[in-house]
Amino acid sequence: AKSSQSLLNPNHILDISHRGASGYAPEHTIPSYKLAKKQKGDYIEIDLQMTKDGKLIAMHDETLDRTTNGTGMVKDHTLSEIKKLDAGSWFNKKYPEKANPDYAGLKVPTLEDIIHTFGRSTNYYIETKSPEVYPGMEEKLLNILKKNKLIGPGSKSGKVIIESFSKPSLMKIHAMDADIPLIQLLSYSQKAKISQKEINDIKKYAVGVGPNYEAIDRDYVQKIRHNGLLIHPYTVNRKEDMKKLLDWGVTGMFTNYPDVLHHVIKDH
């Protein structure tokens, strides 16, 4: 592909399907990711946790309670224990208007389950969650990606993006493979501000930032863009907010509604 068509070209606005098409289907399940792809999301976003026996699974929380019928910490359960859980019924109960009988009894997928399902037919935007709780998480992640030829020789640039709130986790990954595009996630409780020094530091290991969208303004976006960094705010679910952020110059965003964002980008 021409570089102008590259996924990482800042003029290519990325539709990042947050936990899959999680506005319509139970987050981090295969149907949620399949729907994201059908709705033309550019990336499926995957949060990683690690089981007691060292397997990487797709789950947002450190605990099983919210998105399965299990309880307790992921790190205290083996994969085979977690595979017995129902990761879909909670959604039907919480969102009766979106409920689907097919969601009942869905399994928690491992990262490898997801890669085996989609192969190279989609792009992956993967977050190392709580890396301080899971030593070795980064090595395992890179090994799986390498084994499946999603990174390294012959892989397409931008096929995988790795994101984290943890700078040490991103630095570790950068030291292992400097070719993987990394996004530094940022969480602001007040109006977002970023100094030139902070930006220069992030540029040493990352290709962009992912701030919470409510905290940023046009100046923030422009400052990031003038420094040649990508900016992917999270998690943007309303059309009006999507349009505003595109006007400000963001290069993509996370959304639970990849279909809505797809149309907003097309019409922009």
Enumerate the active-site residues. 18, 60
Supply the minimum distance, in Å, between the C-beta of residue 61 and Ca ion.
Answer: 11
Q: Choose among Ca ion, ligand G3P, none what residue 234 binds, the Cβ cut-off being 5 to 8 Å by kind.
A: ligand G3P
C-beta of 129: minimal distance to ligand G3P in Å? 7
Count of CB atoms within 10 A of residue 17's CB?
Answer: 32
User: Least distance from C-beta 6 to ligand G3P, angstroms?
Assistant: 22
Q: Which CB atom, from 15 or from 127, has the smaller least distance to Ca ion?
A: 127
Task: Indicate which of Ca ion, ligand G3P, none lies near residue 210 (CB less than 5 to 8 Å, by partner kind).
Answer: ligand G3P
Residues near 1 by Cβ (< 8 Å), separated by ≥ 6?
156
**47 touches Ca ion (CB under 5 A):** yes
How large is the angle between the packed helices 137-147 and 167-176, nearest 10 degrees?
40
**78 vs 126 by CB, closer to ligand G3P:** 126
Query: Of 84 and 206, which has the nearer Cβ to ligand G3P?
Result: 206
Contact 75, 52 (CB under 8 A): yes
Residues that bind ligand G3P (CB under 6 A): 18, 47, 60, 127, 163, 185, 210, 234-235, 254
**What gap in Å lies between CA 261 and CA 66, rounded to an integer?**
27
Question: Which CB, 1 or 133, lies closer to ligand G3P?
Answer: 133
15 contributes a contact to Ca ion by CB under 5 A: no
Total residues interacting with Ca ion, rule: CB under 5 A: 2
Cβ–Cβ under 8 Å, residues 98 and 24: yes
Residue 183, beta-bridge partner list: 163, 208
Q: Which of 27, 42, 127, 138 binds Ca ion (CB under 5 A)?
A: 127
Nearest to 246 by CA among 256, 261, 235, 228: 261
Tell me the Ramachandran region of residue 239: left when phi exceeds 0, alpha when psi lies from -120 to 50, beta otherwise. Answer: alpha
CA-CA-CA-CA dihedral for 212, 214, 219, 224, to nearest 10: 10
Residue type, 158: G
Minimal distance in Å, beta carbon 164 to ligand G3P? 8
Closest approach of ligand G3P to the CB of residue 240, in Å: 20
Q: Which stretch binds Ca ion (CB under 5 A): 41-49, 77-85, 106-114, 193-201?
A: 41-49
Residue 39: C-alpha distances to residues 34, 120, 200, 227, 258 (Å): 9, 17, 36, 32, 6
**Nearer Cβ to ligand G3P, position 66 or 147?**
66
Footprint on this chain of Ca ion (rule: CB under 5 A):
47, 127
